[in-house]
Amino acid sequence: MRALAGVGWRAAPGPTAAMLVLSLLAGVCGFVIPLLTGQAVGQVPSLLGRGVTATFVLTLAGLLSALVVSSLASTLGDAAAGISEGLVRHAVDLRIGWTQSSRPGLTRLEDPEASRAIQVVRARAWELGYAHLTLFTLIPTQLVILVGGAISLGVVLTWWAPLVLVAPVLVAAEHARRSGVSQMGVFARRGEHQKHAASAFAQGMGKGAKEIRVFGLTDLLLERMEHHNAATYHPFWRRRRAAAGLGLGWALAQSVAVLVVVTWAVGAYGTGRLELAQVAAALPLVVALMRVDLSSTALVSRAAAATRTLDEVAAPEEFTAVSARIAVNPRADSEQDLVATIAQGLAVAPPGGEPPEIVFDDVGFSYPGQSTPVLEGVDLVLPAGAASALVGVNGAGKSTLVKLLAAAYLPTSGRVLVDGEDLADLDEEGRAAWQRRIAPISQEFLRLPLSIGDNVELGSGRIWSGIIETDHYPDHAALDRAADRAGITDLVAGLDRRWATPLDKTMPGGTDLSGGEWQRVGLARALRAVDAGARVLVLDEPAAALDVESESRLVAGYLDVARATTSLIISHRFSVVRPVDHIHVLDRGRIVESGSHDELMTDPDGVYRGLFSLQAARYAEATGEPS
């Protein structure tokens, strides 16, 4: 509960404090109004024939004031709640997004337990906003009515009446709290099903949508989503139904308690032990107590459990530091100012400096939870300011080696040294700083639904502004240079809004690119990063989707850029790696050959020569030229 309150308090301290004060005020009005109403009604018989008394006027004035305060508290409370809920939801979304993207390593992201926890929190994120409102409005109001009403009833009627009425309310609230915790327990254990249902939905809506239709998989996907949703929610709903049934039982118990108190009061009036005024004052209080509802403690308990899971995946103190960094200047009065503020806070440009030497020293690696090593005893030197290449068959471990180079994973044995410094000795900040020195294009490079300019410019470390209507790039010359080297100058010139054209068909004026065009945009981004100061260039299959002309431009451009960087290129196309001086062959997780193309071709039994000859022969066969 404290964790949930903490989330709300950190996200919206002002509105939350206002909500709390106003809801306490509403609670006071909640028992004062029935008390004064009853007292006013109780005085009526004694006024007959005597005229209005000062006490009666004071009672009515008090009642009127309480009604006005109640109405104001309700209106202002609604406004504070609206602001507060939005801020809390925003903070929760941000924190979930941050857990998935902030850490330099991939280990945690791929950990099944962490991924299940993130899925559970994502599914209940909407409930955290509601629970925050309930915790700071509904529950304090109801508690004040319960306590104030009970004390007032004890004073005006008899001491035991509040005990009889309050007991079932409290027992029902505790029951709701426990059932909320147990419902969440059931839900959280179904994280695997939630992931399957979410992934079936994502496939149907996303990149897989085309093939799903072509293969006629729509019904299968829907059935799969239905199956996993049912497996997620049925046990949860069963608990909720059982809890609702018991809740009904407590409501009946409360009715019986009301009946007992009212019957006793009427009987006591009949026998002259109570005044009419006492009974009249007590009855509205009994009604107010009967209407106290603390069943929302179930919602709060579920959300509190979800918050604990959120705290596990994203520690609040770490996140506080992040949110302070990305806090937007609230006084920014135009969208441009806002963008400038965000960019100032977040820009992490590559640091520049000299290209480093990278050494793999007897490196071994297995993915977390797997026993078979992907890399074993890898010794490799990537000389500073020189181009290197890595070749090998599918699954040899090339991309894995790049992940170790980028410190996305740490080796399970051996060391990766950058200018002599072991990457394993760096803290998270140090690892993130190392990653900023790298200009990568990976096999699954980022394709953001933003303008083409933003897609390239983010290589410089400047956050994209998200404003695609204006041409806001600070260094157009650098952008054009990257375009020229990656061969997208004509592509950009041919787009309706040039650099500002969104690469998303669902956006106004948006378009989409072919696979090869996208790959060249990814390449331009890596080159823009080098221009901005990245000194390690890593290209993992940069030519996979390129036509022959683009490929030869890549080869020429790569060697040119590679001189200013320590670079590594991975490609199945030997025409791409052939001109590189240092070529390494990775075979089943080990470096088996190293040298220039000419050196490697001298070994008649060499893996490189075998693979090269095979590709050359296939090419000759296809073109009719001798190999």
Ligand X SMILES: Nc1ncnc2c1ncn2[C@@H]1O[C@H](COP(=O)(O)OP(=O)(O)OP(=O)(O)O)[C@@H](O)[C@H]1O
Residue nearer to ligand X on the CB measure, 384 or 544: 544
Residue nearer to ligand X on the CB measure, 398 or 553: 398
Residue nearer to ligand X on the CB measure, 104 or 355: 104
440 belongs to the binding site for ligand X (CB under 6 A): no
Cα distance between residue 99 and residue 115, in whole Å: 10
Site string for ligand X, 74-113 (x = CB under 6 A): ------------------------------------x---
Burial track 421-430 (b if 16+ CB lie within 10 A, e otherwise): eebeebeeee
596 belongs to the binding site for ligand X (CB under 6 A): no
Tokens 């820009």 belong to: 347
Site string for ligand X, 310-349 (x = CB under 6 A): ----------------------------------------
Residue nearer to ligand X on the CB measure, 572 or 609: 572
Residue nearer to ligand X on the CB measure, 134 or 400: 400
Size of the site for ligand X (CB under 6 A): 12
371 belongs to the binding site for ligand X (CB under 6 A): no
- 451 neighbors 549 (Cβ within 8 angstroms): no
Residue 410: CB minimum distance to ligand X, A: 14
Give the CB-side neighbour count of residue 563, counting CA atoms within 13 A. Answer: 5
Residue nearer to ligand X on the CB measure, 91 or 585: 585
Look up residue 145 and give its DSSP letter: H
Residue 394: CB minimum distance to ligand X, A: 4
Cα distance between residue 40 and residue 46, in whole Å: 11
Cα distance between residue 547 and residue 553, in whole Å: 10
147-150 long-range contacts, CB within 8 A, separation 24+: 148/27, 148/28, 148/30, 148/31, 148/32, 149/30, 149/31, 149/34, 149/35, 149/285, 149/288, 149/289, 149/292, 150/289
590 belongs to the binding site for ligand X (CB under 6 A): no
374 belongs to the binding site for ligand X (CB under 6 A): yes
Residue 539: CB minimum distance to ligand X, A: 13
C-alpha dihedral sign at 222, 224, 228, 231:
positive
Residue 192: CB minimum distance to ligand X, A: 17
Tokens 């007992």 belong to: 260
392 belongs to the binding site for ligand X (CB under 6 A): yes
**Rounded to 10 degrees, what is the CA torsion of 169, 171, 173, 174?**
160
367 belongs to the binding site for ligand X (CB under 6 A): yes
Tokens 């004040």 belong to: 144
Q: In which order are the strands placed within the sheet that holds 387-391?
A: 438-441, 536-540, 566-570, 387-391, 582-587, 590-595
Q: Which residues contact 119 (CB under 8 A, 6 or more apart)?
A: 191, 194, 195, 198
Which stretch, 174-182, 314-322, 357-365, 366-374, contacts ligand X (CB under 6 A)?
Answer: 366-374
Residue nearer to ligand X on the CB measure, 271 or 394: 394
Q: Tell me which residues in 396-415 interact with ligand X (CB under 6 A).
A: 396-400
Residues near ligand X, by CB under 6 A: 110, 367, 370, 374, 392, 394-400
